[in-house]
Structure 1
Amino acid sequence: MHSPLSATVVISTYNQPDWLKLVLHSYDIQTTGNFEIIIADDGSDEATRRVIEDFKKSTSLKIIHLWQEDDGFQKTKVLNKAIVASKTDYLIFTDGDCIARNDFVETHLKLRKPNLALSGGYFKLTESISFKMNKDIVESQKCFDMDWLLEQGQPKSFKLNKLTKSRHKARILNHITPTKATFDGMNVSCWKNDILAVNGFDERMEYGGEDREVGERMMNNGVRFKQARYSTICVHLYHDRPYKNKNAEVLNLQIRQETKKNKSIYTKFGIFK
């Protein structure tokens, strides 16, 4: 008899099959297997579907591939579909270009508390290291090893502390970081009820702050956001952003300003219309 699943990992993706393959592998080697994965796919082509089908054959994890037609940047819509489709009461949101350290899911679950969302961070790999990545490197967890990364040419910076294995150091750094705890879609977790209460993502929003805005409504609704950027660890693979769009950024900013001004806790443009 399987114990009920503790979490749903929602991975958003769009036409990055090589990256997605590595990311999915990182979830296959987690220290807990007590979660399902929903791949929120904003219209990828056949190559992505093949990666997911192959992964389904090799893993014991429960995988749902939620696909919608490619109609420009419509990530908020597919994320809302994923929230509705999830079978658990705790959601971890991340992207198909973020490789999770093997304790990623377990740490999100350990740190969760009622009425709390966890704001994780990510460590950006250089372009050349990103293209060196393969399953063996993910398997061995070398991509989370500072010394290995420096040997490969990753520049030395304070940000390497995001890869700390020390829980004590992580606690201190989470406490003193000046970075605000926000809803950053690459690495954030919350209770399903808390995101449903604000009606999920605002589907008018395209790329740029669309994740922050749902977090701002959750905060207005009394959910506390806690910094976990040094505890829940993932590394971000390099890619271009062809979907950046000035008009969308202006609209998104306007929506966020309204949310702030009106202390909005609900959007009429979310899950329930």
Structure 2
Amino acid sequence: MQSNSKASVIISTYNQPEWLALVLHSYSIQTENSFEIIIADDGSNEQTKAVIEKCILETELKISHVWHEDNGFQKTKILNEAILASSSDYLIFTDGDCIARQDFVETHLRLRRPNYVLSGGYFKLVKSVSDNISKEIITHQHCFDKDWLIDKGQPKSFKFNKLTKSKAKAQWLNKITPTKATFDGMNVSCFKSDILAVNGFDERMQYGGEDREVGERMMNNGVKFRQVRYSTICVHLHHERPYKNDEARVLNEEIRKTTKQKKIIYTNFGIKKA
């Protein structure tokens, strides 16, 4: 399927319609508008559908809603469906709780290179700041402004460098950061052909590192990873993580250990089933 869009932004979500409304607003004011949005919805109720339909009516965004019934944590499965639903050759993955700075899509596209994954990060907002975020705040980009954030209760730290507007500073920080470039689903991009080559996400994976594993297979397949955490900017809304559980973590660690030790490049539990 050919597309006029330069990128497909795949946004994963589950029953957080208020957050999703804010996140979608951040994409309606991007400096680059040649992209489509695929909502990878892991079984949300009608409220999420209503937010998406409202956004389609009120903005110029091209949005597809990929949904399946709620049957526990099946994020990897819905992400694979979203990959298949995408119509451009470049994919940007993010989450429905990450608000994108205006140059987010433009920067991912500017830095893309064949046979590379761009590994971004996020700036985590404290609860008092998250509670102050509105569409108006996003429109004025205050949530990416150090002074506004401090005023609303964000503690001062080195992490404010993650919001730099200087391309030269971002480039330097990307180079010296000790943080390893990995496939983190809240801010990562790649060519569609590279993720299809390893058969997408492993659908056995539960919460915790499920996105890292597909990146490890891509690395085993010769794809290089580039650190862009100070260039592709998004802020992460505060929330608890009640869905964390040790059983899932152990299962995921076992799968990832096998992927690394055996240098596995292709999963039989991905887009195409064995």
Partner residue in 2 for 1:269:
269
Aligned: 1:51 with 2:54 = no
Deviations 1:64-103 (A, max 9, x none): 0011100111000000000111000000000000000000
Aligned position for 1:160? 160
Partner amino acid for 1:34? S
Aligned position for 2:82: 82
Q: What per-residue deviation string (whole Å, max 9, x for no partner) do you get for residues 218-247 of structure 1?
A: 000000000000000000001111211211
**Identity percentage of aligned residues:** 72
What TM-score comes out, normalization by structure 2 length? Answer: 0.98
Q: Which AA in structure 1 matches 2:133?
A: M
Point out 4+ residue stretches in structure 1 off by more than 4 angstroms.
none
Between the aligned partners of 2:131 and 2:207, the Cα distance in structure 1 is: 25
How many angstroms does 1:58 deviate by? 1.0
Shift of 1:152: 1.1
**Counterparts of 1:158 and 1:95, CA distance in 2:** 24
Give the counterpart letter for 1:102 in structure 2: Q
Tell me the residue number matched to 2:193. 193
Secondary structure, aligned partner of 1:132: coil
Query: Whole-Å Cα distance in 1 between the matches of residues 176 and 147 of structure 2?
Result: 25
Residue in 2 aligned with 1:69? 69
Aligned to 1:236: 236
Between the aligned partners of 1:240 and 1:73, the Cα distance in structure 2 is 16
CA apart distance, 1:59: 1.5
Q: Deviations over 1:194-236 (max 9, x none)?
A: 0000000000001000000000000000000000000000000
Pairing 1:1-273 to 2, within 5 Å after superposition: 4-273=4-273
Tell me the C-alpha RMSD between the 2 structures: 0.7
Structure 2 residue runs of 5 or longer lacking an equivalent are: none
| Deviation of the 1:132 alpha carbon | 1.1
Q: Mind listing any 5+ residue stretches in structure 1 that lack a counterpart?
A: none
Output the CA distance in 1 between the equivalents of 2:103 and 2:6: 15
- The residue matched to 1:38 in structure 2 has which SS? strand
Q: TM-score scaled to structure 1, two decimals?
A: 0.98
Q: Alignment length, in residue pairs?
A: 271
Cα distance in 2 for residues equivalent to 1:242 and 1:55: 28
Q: Aligned letter for 2:129?
A: I
Q: Deviations over 1:164-212 (max 9, x none)?
A: 0000000000000000000000000000000000000000001000000
